[in-house]
Amino acid sequence: MEGTERMGKDAQDSSKAVSQKKNILLVVPKLDQGGLERVCVRTARILGEDCNVFIAAFDPSEPAYDLTGLSVYDLHAPAAKGRAGKVLRVFDRAWKLRRLKKKLSADVTYSFGPTANRANIAAGGCGEMWCGLRSFADLEKEKELAVIARKSRRLICCSKVLAKEAEVRCGFSGADVLYNPYRIEELSDLAKVQDEELEAVRDRLRASGGKLIVSMGREDYPKGYWHLLKAFSLLSQKLPEVRLSIVGSGDFSRYEMLAQKLGIREKVIFAGMKKNPFPWLAVADLYAGASLFEGFPNALVEAMSLGTPVVSTNCMTGPAEILTKDYEKAMLCPDGQDGEYGILTAQLEPGENLDPDVITDGERRFAAALERMLTDEKLRSSYAAAAKLRAEDFSEEAYRKKLLSFME
């Protein structure tokens, strides 16, 4: 197919040769380390026994996930620069995707995130169009969102708060909620794999009696890493032996510079992207999430599944649903609360501020929550047990059953 190249030896030329299974095409911008990319790959594996599943990516170079045995198509349509280039790219992606839908006789094309949703709707073609909303940022272009909601067969949100907000913004009341899937047993096994860099960190912590805070995610504005570093600098003044590790891809140079100015550079480990980050989550004494907004934070649940207690901002959306039994009540608590499964702190201020002399009230409250969790052994132990139990609610089997029900 012109403009489309298959990846993976099991990729099929056509869907016709395989039984009566439905043909499901998953569309994603890239396959690097990120939440929606992880969910896309997991979806392909979860549905593999029930359906013929294919993945189409605009730019699947440098994949961060194991694609062995998966049928992956490269649409050769990476992000373009300039207004004109971006407009042309939308048509290019739509044309290539339409041809691929026809080639595979797709019964369902399920896209993840705004750029993939845009291409899915613009492509039209055979089968049902499902569009996935993955974060609060996906709701920003309200007119486009209304078109996507109107033309898609299903609008799938990864949290209840996201679905409700989509209804408010575009008047669409039929959004489905589908929580991200997690394979708890597999994560536990991966967490046992030795990581040399981590072992060196653990040796130093054992010698000093210090504790380790871990945060995970790519370098991206919504992750609020400048807030996390400033809060950690306050914590470090009271607990000087504590260390912070940030695991994720991207250019963290400006955050390294901020850490230097804050006087904590030697206490912060910028670990970079890890194909297997789970040993870091498992050995952490605490997982910290300082996001300004999320969809359904994968790293938060992954840490919980490994028995790591959590402190997170009560951002839109996800953490309140994960860490409390009554998310609607939790969203009405601006100062945060002690949830049943982890500690929620107040939402942090928007707008990146790399001035080391500017410390906000939100950062002070976040630092206080970190300190309380680290210094109260009973509290930390209680939340570790509760977190692990809560993570079991987000199983792959529940995810599979709900997706299959959508196809009926």
pLDDT for position 21? 92
pLDDT for position 16? 43
pLDDT for position 15? 43
Q: For 65-121, what is the HEC assignment?
A: CCCCCCEEEECCCCCCCCHHHHHHHHHHHHHHHHHHHHHHCCCEEEEECHHHHHHHH
- CA dist 346 and 8 (Å) reads 45
b/e 296-323 (16+ beta carbons within 10 angstroms → b) = bbbbbbbbbbbbbbbbbbbbbbbbbbbb
- CA dist 72 and 91 (Å) reads 21
- CA dist 295 and 138 (Å) reads 9
Query: Which residue in 181, 131, 99 sits closest to 28, CA to CA?
Result: 131
Question: 265: how many CB neighbours lie within 10 A of its CB?
Answer: 14
Domain covering 184-391, topology: Rossmann fold (3.40.50)
Q: How far is the CA of 195 from the CAs of 188, 271, 278, 301, in angstroms?
A: 15, 11, 10, 21
Domains 5-178 and 184-391 share a fold: yes
Q: Name the residue ranges covered by the structural domains of the chain.
A: 5-178, 184-391
367: tokens are: 């630092």
Q: What are phi and psi of 177, to 5 degrees?
A: -110, 125
Query: Which residue in 40, 330, 36 sits closest to 161, CA to CA?
Result: 330
Which 8-state DSSP code applies to residue 182?
A: B
If the chain, 408 residues long, is cut into consecutive pieces of 10 residues, what is the mean pLDDT of each piece? 45 50 96 86 96 96 89 95 91 97 97 95 95 86 91 93 87 88 91 93 89 96 97 97 96 97 97 94 97 90 97 90 90 87 95 97 97 97 97 91 94
Query: Which residue in 110, 106, 104, 122 sits closest to 153, CA to CA?
Result: 110
Span 5-178 CATH architecture: 3-Layer(aba) Sandwich (3.40)
